[in-house]
């Protein structure tokens, strides 16, 4: 896909007004598509440069992965402050570094900030065998960082007029976990532990990544175990739905073995759900639409009227009506609903 199309998708994602934590699910892969890299993460910081929150496509992030139990949160924050300072001293507010340890991955760091100060740091990782980041990578990342900063700064939430932002659908992220009724996990993949952490934790700190399970996860496991016990004759597995700043998580419980008290084994199937508007933005990239038509389609999907679209885009209502007509012709549809369905479900 052309870089211009990827940039347009990044801009549209960042302007949706959704919580930045939720946006990271589609935003980080889009940024890796713009700047070829193997992994991405974002670290939120406060005014003093201390870590407020961490999200990475793979938890723990590479800096904390080697010798995790020997790494203190203070050590991570010292290294983070150094990289933030390096970004702040660079004209484009971007810096390169390396991950300590045998892997030695290359890291491209970019500061997300407003006039009020730094909000956090975007981190792109590239395996050492793929070579370091170059000037083109820096330029491409710099071209979209103001959108990323805008998304992080806005603590938005979908309004009642945003149907696709309020509706959730299953993502591809799913994992199985085996635990006992006492809340102890006996088997889980890295993805399973990540999803359970995101489902039950709002703010992720470096030291939290040392534990296999937190208090919120233990409560969720015990709740599902209790439902399994009380509904022994039920055909359908019990379901626990947890809403988090990271998305919506649906956890289903299955009885794997009987036992006394904490000895019984249960299986947990964890799946993340995301607002449908995120898939809509992704799907628009597969339609032969002009930039104006994509912008109009997104505004329609968000439930906005012609006058609202006119005000947001800074064009006249007649211009909006013209672009909507051209959009309908391109998609071979006659109504707004048909246009949304054509883009979202026929790609």
Three-state SS for 240?
A: strand
pTM of this structure: 0.84
Model pLDDT for residues 214-240, shown as the tens digit of each residue: 888 999 999 998 888 786 556 788 999
Please tell me whether residues 291 and 250 are part of one structural domain: no
- Residue 11, pLDDT above cutoff 50: yes
Residues with Cβ within 8 Å of 157's Cβ and at least 6 positions away in sequence, in order, are 17, 18, 19
Backbone angles phi, psi at 254, to 5 degrees: -135, 135
Instruction: Give the span between the Cα atoms of 9 and 52, in whole angstroms.
Output: 27
Query: Which pLDDT band holds residue 262 (cuts at 50, 70, 90)?
Result: low
Instruction: Give the span between the Cα atoms of 112 and 31, in whole angstroms.
Output: 14
Q: How many domains does the chain have?
A: 3
The alpha carbon of residue 302 and the mean position of all alpha carbons in its chain are separated, in whole angstroms, by: 19
Please tell me whether residues 232 and 187 are part of one structural domain: yes
Please tell me whether residues 28 and 57 are part of one structural domain: yes
- Residue 21, pLDDT above cutoff 70: yes
Cβ–Cβ under 8 Å, residues 118 and 49: yes
Task: Choose one of 229, 249, 276: the last residue of a domain.
Answer: 276
Please tell me the predicted confidence (pLDDT) of residue 71: 41
Model pLDDT for residues 53-85, shown as the tens digit of each residue: 999 888 766 665 544 333 445 667 788 888 899
CATH number at residue 16: 3.30.450.40
- Give the tokens for residue 39: 């992994």
Query: Which pLDDT band holds residue 207 (cuts at 50, 70, 90)?
Result: confident
Please tell me whether residues 84 and 131 are part of one structural domain: yes
Residue range(s) defining the domain that contains residue 329: 286-345
Please tell me the predicted confidence (pLDDT) of residue 160: 46
Span between the terminal Cα atoms of the chain, in Å: 15
Please tell me the predicted confidence (pLDDT) of residue 236: 83
């Amino acid at each position: 896909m052309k870089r211009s199309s990827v940039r347009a998708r990044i801009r549209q994602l960042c302007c949706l007004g959704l919580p930045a934590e939720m946006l990271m699910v589609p935003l980080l892969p889009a940024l890796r598509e713009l700047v070829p890299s193997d992994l991405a993460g974002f670290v939120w910081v406060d005014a003093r440069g201390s870590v407020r929150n961490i999200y990475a496509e793979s938890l723990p992030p590479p800096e904390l992965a080697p010798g995790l139990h020997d790494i203190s949160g203070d050590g991570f924050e010292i290294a983070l402050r150094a990289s933030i300072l390096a970004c702040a001293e660079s004209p484009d507010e971007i810096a390169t570094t390396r991950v300590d340890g045998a892997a030695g991955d290359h890291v491209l760091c970019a500061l997300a900030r407003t006039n009020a100060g730094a909000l956090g740091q975007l981190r792109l990782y590239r395996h050492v065998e793929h070579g370091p980041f170059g000037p083109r990578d820096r330029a491409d990342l710099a071209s979209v960082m103001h959108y990323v900063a805008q998304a992080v700064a806005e603590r938005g939430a979908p309004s009642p007029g945003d149907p696709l932002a309020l509706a959730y659908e299953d993502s591809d992220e799913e994992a199985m976990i085996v635990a006992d009724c006492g809340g102890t996990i006996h088997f889980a993949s890295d993805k399973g532990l990540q999803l359970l952490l995101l489902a039950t934790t709002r703010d992720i700190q470096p030291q939290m990544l040392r534990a296999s399970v937190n208090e919120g996860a233990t409560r969720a496991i015990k709740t599902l175990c209790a439902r399994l016990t009380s509904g022994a004759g039920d055909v359908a597995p019990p379901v626990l739905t947890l809403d988090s700043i990271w998305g919506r998580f649906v956890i289903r419980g299955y009885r794997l073995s009987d036992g006394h008290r904490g000895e019984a084994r249960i299986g947990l199937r964890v799946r993340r759900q995301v607002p449908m508007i995120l898939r809509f933005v992704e799907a628009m990239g597969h339609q032969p639409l002009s930039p104006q038509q994509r912008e109009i389609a997104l505004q329609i999907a968000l439930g906005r009227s012609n006058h609202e679209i006119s005000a947001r885009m800074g064009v006249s209502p007649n211009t909006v009506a013209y672009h909507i007509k051209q959009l309908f012709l391109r998609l071979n549809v006659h109504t707004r609903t048909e246009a949304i369905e054509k883009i979202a479900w026929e790609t």
